[in-house]
Chain A
Amino acid sequence: MPAIAVVDYGMGNLRSVAKALAHVAPDEHIVVTADPRVIRAADRVVLPGQSAMPDCMRCLDASGLADVVQEAAATRPFLGICLGLQMLFQSSEEGPTPGLGVLPGRVVRFRDAAMQLPSGVRLKVPHMGWSPVRQARPHPLWAGIADGTRFYFAHSYHPVPKDRAVIAGTADYPTAFTCAIARANIFATQFHPEKSHRAGLRLLANFVAWNGCD
């Protein structure tokens, strides 16, 4: 049985996530799978995702994997990436389909009005590229990664957790938003560690070595 299951619910490119994990953990058994039995038996679970949250949720529901993902998020080292983070929350401004509700809070769009800077510069949406991530608190997944290291982002929506204690990292665009969350065995990022060069690979290596304790 695999050590790490990357959940495949039919949304987009999972190859990069699996390959980046294989790169940092060449001896681990990593599978991209839609099989609930394989996901249940895995030691660690990764939930990636791209596109729009309502579409991702519909695909996850249609694939019959919502329950098994919730179960994994309650029991084992669990990593959500991008939409895989957003789906953990209750709702999103992107559409009426509810999220998994593992974490209280919602997902909102960058506000157009807030994008205009006093300097006259207007920030673009999607927020695309490399932004520094402030570590809100120490966590095993930040091990060896300097506070303020840049990670790669490509998104127009971000989470607003109800419980501020789950905030593990923030970035500025132009005001601070939550870009990493941590609670017990769950860690999730709005940025893409699998596309974030050395720092991203280090975060994935930390996940592979993590015992799931905060």
Chain B
Amino acid sequence: MGLAKRIIPCLDVAEGRVVKGINFVNLRDAGDPVEVARRYDEQGADELAFLDIRASIETRGLLYHMIEAVADQVFIPLTVGGGVNSVDDIRALLNAGADKVSINTAGVRHPGLFEEAAGRYGSQCIVAAIDAKQSAPEAWEVYTHGGRTPTGMDAIEWAREVVARGAGEILLTSMDRDGARTGFDLELTRAIVEAVEVPVIASGGVGSLQDLVDGILEGGADAVLAASIFHYGEFTIGQAKAALAAAGIEIRD
């Protein structure tokens, strides 16, 4: 037995509340992050990801309070991202109870942020979030600002660079597949997994349990992240794990 592949539900948050249709049966308040986190924790999630989709300075304090509230009740790793601009932001999130912080747009604008952050807090808590879109056969371009801004940068090159600068994990999202529910971009996932020696979390496009299996077996991902298939009560984490186990993938029971 070795290291288990991880299943990570991702929650979009704004103003300290979960947004985008969380739809569990018997949830008193579908927007309460603590209640949602607890539900996923009970189902056996290996980790939770929170993405602050507004990330405005005015509402940042609400995010910190939210992370504190979740971290006080849920004892599995928490990754938080969205609007992380500086080492001060990272410190505030870690102090609130985040275990890992993901850096996206600010890292492209100022790549030294990775070195600074990893130097201060260790690579194990610095995640590079890469949003990539296919630009040619076997080539993908990095996008920032939630997938709106092309950068002209090659995703594979950028993945190598962020790891050299100290990122301890990559959260890879295919902009082509995000929301499409047609499965991960397996070619992209495989290309990044083979390019770097740190763990890669595949994200974007999950529409079925088989997509999770494919992300691991064909894409080579170390962890798979999904939102909608869990949020709408379509599948539980337990069902996802059973599907992985049936495919011969090692999971945490």
List residues of chain A with CB under 8 Å of any chain B CB.
12-13, 15-16, 19-20, 23, 50-52, 55, 112, 115, 122-132, 148, 150, 152, 154-156, 172-174, 192, 194-197, 200-201
Give chain B interface residues in 189-228, CB to chain A under 8 Å. 197-200, 222-223
Shortest Cβ gap from A31 to chain B (Å)? 16
Interface contact B197-A125, CB-CB below 8 Å = yes
Give the total number of A-B pairs whose CB atoms are below 8 A apart. Answer: 111
Interface contact B124-A50, CB-CB below 8 Å = yes
Interface contact A197-B199, CB-CB below 8 Å = no
Shortest Cβ gap from B117 to chain A (Å)? 10
Q: Which residues of B contact A123 (CB under 8 A)?
A: 3
Distance in angstroms between the alpha carbons of A132 and B46 in the assembled complex: 14
Kindly state whether residue B72 has any CB partner on chain A within 8 Å. Answer: yes
Shortest Cβ gap from B249 to chain A (Å)? 12
Interface contact B197-A154, CB-CB below 8 Å = no
Interface contact A127-B95, CB-CB below 8 Å = no
Interface contact A126-B46, CB-CB below 8 Å = no
Contacts A129-B6, A197-B76, A201-B75; A50 near B222 (Cβ below 8 A)? no
Interface contact B120-A51, CB-CB below 8 Å = yes
List residues of chain B with CB under 8 Å of any chain A CB.
1-6, 41, 46, 68, 71-73, 75-77, 94-100, 120-125, 168-169, 197-200, 222-223, 252-253
* Chain A contact residues: helix, strand, loop or mixed: mixed
* Chain B contact residues: helix, strand, loop or mixed: loop
Partner of B1 from A15, A132, A196 at Cβ < 8 Å: A132
Contacts A15-B68, A50-B122, A50-B124; A131 near B2 (Cβ below 8 A)? yes
Partner of B96 from A15, A20, A124, A155 at Cβ < 8 Å: A15
5 pairs, A vs B, C-beta closer than 8 Å: A23-B72, A130-B252, A132-B2, A152-B76, A154-B168
Q: Which residues of A contact B100 (CB under 8 A)?
A: 154
Interface contact A13-B75, CB-CB below 8 Å = no
Q: Which residues of B contact A200 (CB under 8 A)?
A: 75
Partner of A130 from B46, B169, B197 at Cβ < 8 Å: B46
Q: Which of B3, B71, B96, B252 has the most CB of A within 10 A?
A: B3
Interface contact B197-A122, CB-CB below 8 Å = yes
Interface contact B3-A131, CB-CB below 8 Å = yes
Distance in angstroms between the alpha carbons of A19 and B70 in the assembled complex: 11
Interface contact A51-B122, CB-CB below 8 Å = yes
Further 7 A-B residue pairs, CB within 8 A, beyond A12-B122, A152-B76, A156-B123: A13-B94, A13-B95, A23-B75, A115-B197, A124-B199, A126-B168, A174-B2
